[in-house]
Amino acid sequence: MARVQISGTGLFTPKESISNEELVSSFNKFVDEYNESNKESIQKGEISALEKSNADFIEKASGVKSRYVQDKSGILDTSFMRPKLRERSENELSNLAEIGSIAGQDAISNAKIDPNNIDAVIVACSNLERPYPAIAIEIQNELGIKGFAYDMNVACSSATFGIQNIYDMIKSGSIRSAIMINPEMCSGHLNFKDRDCHFIFGDVATAVVLEELKEEQVSDNCYEVLGTKLLTEFSNNIRNNYGFLNNSSPEGIGKADKLFHQNGRKVFKEVVPKVASLIKDHLESHSIDINNIKGMYLHQANESMNKLISKYLLGFEADQSLAPIVLDEYANTSSAGSIIAFHKNNENLSKNDLAIICSFGAGYSIGNVIVKKIA
Ligand code: COA
């Protein structure tokens, strides 16, 4: 069986960002407008008044301070409250292919690989812009990559599941290398009118180049993939019912369940022990002591959640150098979160250090990747 390395990662960060204060100010203006225009129904008890949001609550409950977005003005406009994106013609790059290609190009440069030597492209993300042709094939075309490409979706765990796909293909010898791309335009599935979740997500794209590991060809900042472990377990606590069959049930079109919605408290309680137990089992199966892990690049949904996972595993809360947090700046970027944390912080690792990249979320789905810095 071939050995596998991560030879480069890439990141695209949108130019615009929204602070909690800006987001809450727009949300609260929307609440005032809604309550005023529905005054009579609210007074008659026919509908409830909406409650205001609070920037301090958001930071305390989640750790999020700001988020990057592809269109700030549409989101903050109380008459629109979603990113305003120009409809693109079929001759133009799609939104996801555009940001995914930039992240992909960054990963290709960092891996110092010729696109001609990449055998496959996998786009792994939570929300695909259209059913076909695959966004991955569009990016393959844009980056001049031969071979094959396809899209896959495992919600917040898409990146680790994508890495396992590529890892298995390289190990078996069906390909020698591939690039995985995670274009996450989470502002598009976020309900900016919902106080419980309007603050959660941001936009970003990440990319990872994986190649067959040949000792004589290892360049700087490369990581051997020692193993992957995946788990899914059905839960209704995180859902998005948007899909192609909505058109056949017109009574549901435009309803709030066609966007992201969750029972955040239940997710927190149920997912933390499952993640800790999967990481523990995975490390034990490789005879690795958790105390020898020098980098824990965890999914970026909630800061307290990550601290609790590290406490379950280590007996203490990991600090920023061991389990870096990027959600304060990026918010939850779904599958891209753990890859951003890895991309921005792996220079802290030394040769032979062991680390994990772990994601978790809707499904439920959990994926863990053990890596070792080899150069
Ligand atoms: N501003 C002010 N108060 C708010 C608020 C807001 N925007 N949103 C909710 N509240 C209030 C609630 O009404 C509730 O009030 P009550 O106690 O009077 O009933 C209180 O704050 C607590 O609400 P709750 O929803 O229980 O908050 P929480 O502490 O669970 O934090 C999350 C919410 C979403 C930040 C947190 O549950 C979380 O991050 N969970 C993990 C989610 C996750 O990982 N999802 C994966 C997604 S991919």
Ligand 1: atom nearest CA of 362 is: 48
Domain boundaries, position 306: 226-373
* Ligand 1 proximity of 302 Cβ (cutoff 6 Å): yes
Report helix angle 264-285 to 303-314, nearest 10: 40
Ligand 1 centre distance from Cα of residue 173 (Å): 46
Concatenating the DSSP letter of every residue in 321-375 gives TTS---HHHH-B-GGGHHHHHHHHHGGG--TT-EEEEEEEETTTEEEEEEEEE--
* Residues belonging to the active site: 156
Ligand 1 in contact with 362 (CB < 6 A)?
A: yes
Instruction: Indicate the pairing of strand 4-12 with strand 203-212.
Output: antiparallel
Question: How many A from CA of 35 to the centre of ligand 1?
Answer: 22
State whether the beta carbon of 193 lies less than 6 angstroms from ligand 1. Answer: no
State residue 215's pLDDT score. 79
Within a domain: residue 267?
Answer: yes
pLDDT tens, residue by residue, 168-195? 999 999 999 999 999 999 999 999 999 9
156 within ligand 1 shell (Cβ under 6 A): yes
Q: How far is the CA of 83 from the centre of ligand 1 (A)?
A: 23
Question: Structurally, how many domains does the chain consist of?
Answer: 1
165 in a structural domain? no
Candidate of 195, 199, 240, 298 to mutate for ligand 1, largest count of ligand atoms within 8 Å of Cβ? 195
238 lines ligand 1 (CB under 6 A): yes
Check: CB of residue 338 under 8 Å from CB of residue 353.
no
- In a domain, residue 312? The reply is yes
Which pair of structure tokens corresponds to residue 340?
């951003």
Let me know: does 276 contact 293? Beta carbons within 8 Å. no
Cα of 57 from ligand 1 centre, angstroms:
8
Q: What is the pLDDT of residue 219?
A: 79
- Ligand 1 center to residue 309 CA distance, Å? 19
Q: What is the pLDDT of residue 217?
A: 72
Answer yes or no: is 40 within a domain: no
Closest CA to 117 of 147, 151, 150: 147
- Give the number of other CB atoms < 10 A from CB of residue 329: 17
CATH number at residue 360: 3.40.47.10
Dihedral sign from CA coordinates of 105, 108, 112, 117: negative
281 falls within a domain: yes
The predicted pLDDT at position 116 comes to 96
**Does the beta carbon of 264 sit less than 6 angstroms from any atom of ligand 1?**
yes
Extract the residue ranges of the chain whose pLDDT is less than 70. Answer: none
**Residue at 201 is within a domain:** no
CA distance 144 to 105: 11
Against a cut of 0.75, is the pTM above it? yes
**210/237 Cα distance (integer angstroms):** 33
Atom of ligand 1 nearest to the CA of 62: 35
